[in-house]
Amino acid sequence: MEGRKEGGILPIAPSTYYEHKARKARPDRAPPRVQRDRWLSAEIQRVWDENFGVYGIRNVWRQLRREAIPAARCTVERMMR
């Protein structure tokens, strides 16, 4: 079989591997978007739970805005998928 590495392991740069390991050990090293997504997903979950799991994307987004939590509608949609 040409084009495949032995053992089915994909080749990646060592720096990528070590950065991934470091981020798992220290989540504060994650990029800002990942950190914000982590925080925002907890807020979305909280709003959804407080409303008995019946709020959809639009209502969750509006509730976040009422609570002065800035989030784009498309971001809420992406995270609720």
Q: Tens of pLDDT along 18-43?
A: 999 999 999 999 999 999 999 999 99
- How far, rounded to the nearest angstrom, does the alpha carbon of residue 44 sit from its chain's CA centroid? 12
Annotated domain spans of the chain: 30-81
Q: What integer pLDDT is reported at residue 46 of this predicted model?
A: 98
Of 80, 32, 34, 39, the closest CA to residue 59 belongs to 80
Count of alpha carbons within 13 angstroms of residue 44, beta-carbon side = 22
Whether the per-residue pLDDT at 3 is higher than 80: the answer is: no
